[in-house]
Structure 1
Amino acid sequence: MTELIDRWVATALTAGAADGPAVTAAGAGLLARWREPHRRYHTTHHLRAVLDLVDRHADLADRPERVALAAWTHDAVYDPRAAADANERASAELAGTLLTGLGVPAATVAEVRRLVLLTAGHRVTPGDRDGALLCDADLAVLATPPEVYDGYAAAIRAEYAHVPEADFRTGRARVLDGLLALPALFRLPPLAARWEAPARANLRRELAALR
């Protein structure tokens, strides 16, 4: 995980964190959260996938370092038993406390918190390039080949193993319906052109299986 820690440190310093061992310690603490044993999809694999996409398409954002910080913290708190939006709110709070403690400027901290909260519903206003990149990267798994998508869906089911099958099917169908109701799953044109159609096909296929 050294490479991920190095990426965290570089991003935090670019965003204005004070250099020192506290930055490295904060990254290690975040990785510990992403490695919690109850996670099956929201793991360091998902973190790395989102970070890689943010880095690859940094030219599509206004402040890519803020988007990367939001990627690091957007699922830092993840409890499948929590109420709707509670994890995103708690992750935003954690981001605020952590980044403030590292000396990151208040304006950047506020923006990272805002970006993290966007991942609750993935609703982005027109012109919000940073929000669009984070949400597009977070939902990119939806556009993967069917066999990869099915692995993602199975991992989500494993995270909700405590939920009875009938209740899970109802709740999961509600989530998928909500995603399909979005005007667009992906907002940035270069990504939407490639991902929108396969993502919607995957969502409809899973929804049909659930019902």
Structure 2
Amino acid sequence: MDVEIPEAIEADLTARWDEPHRRHHNRRHLDEVLAALQLLHDEGLSFGSGPSSSPRGSTMRSTRRAVRTTNVTPPTSPDDRNGIALSDADLSVLGSDPARYDEYAADVRTEFHLVPDEVFRPGRRTILAEFVAADILFRSPQARQRWEAAARENLAREIDALA
């Protein structure tokens, strides 16, 4: 069951995603997350409220909880299928091709343009090093198989570039 979003709310959300200061966290990122969710769904990852749930519907139904999940910590319960799917889809950009990853990293830097380089660079390196130190980046087997190796290569490249 998909959720119908009232037109005024959808227009407001779209306008917010398109705000000029949003370089990474914008409508492109949303579209990429939804595409990654569809891909994971097509590869057999079960999430949503039923076997025929659409990724977009399940994402919209659990947006508030899921956004908190990806902002704080990845889901730890193997029963949190929606949280696992959304977290993996949100992080899928880490495993993209090097050119797209470099664009993502540049967009993140632009979003934090008010943070001086001498603060941003070591802070970003610390965050990326925490990702690299993790046993796994992606919680689902489908996402690990698809993105894990490339993500680790991209993260290592960025860490080196920030040194």
Q: Does the alignment reach a TM-score above 0.5? A: yes
Q: Deviations over 1:11-40 (max 9, x none)?
A: 323xxx7xxxxx111111111110111111
Identify which of 146, 153, 168 aligns with 2:105: 153
Q: CA deviation at 1:61?
A: 3.2
1:116 partner letter: V
Kindly indicate whether residue 129 of structure 2 is the aligned counterpart of residue 144 of structure 1: no
Q: Name structure 1 gaps, 5 residues minimum.
A: 1-9, 18-22, 70-107
Kindly indicate whether residue 24 of structure 2 is the aligned counterpart of residue 41 of structure 1: yes
- The answer as to whether partners of 2:40 and 2:142 remain within 8 angstroms in 1 is no
- The answer as to whether partners of 1:50 and 1:137 remain within 8 angstroms in 2 is yes
Identify which of 13, 29, 33 aligns with 1:50: 33
Q: Deviations over 1:92-144 (max 9, x none)?
A: xxxxxxxxxxxxxxxx5xx4422211111442122321111101110111011
Higher relative contact order (CA 8 A, sep 6+): 2
Report % sequence identity. 43
Q: CA deviation at 1:66?
A: 5.4
Q: RMSD of the TM alignment (CA)?
A: 2.0
Question: TM-score under structure 1 normalisation?
Answer: 0.67
Shift >4 Å, 4+ stretches: none
Kindly indicate whether residue 132 of structure 2 is the aligned counterpart of residue 188 of structure 1: no
Match of 1:116 in 2: 67
Q: Name structure 2 gaps, 5 residues minimum.
A: 49-54
1:67-86, aligned counterparts within 5 Å? 67-69=58-60
- The answer as to whether partners of 2:14 and 2:27 remain within 8 angstroms in 1 is yes
- The answer as to whether partners of 1:11 and 1:65 remain within 8 angstroms in 2 is yes
Question: TM-score under structure 2 normalisation?
Answer: 0.84
- The answer as to whether partners of 1:140 and 1:195 remain within 8 angstroms in 2 is yes
Distance in 2, matches of 1:117 and 1:61, equals: 21
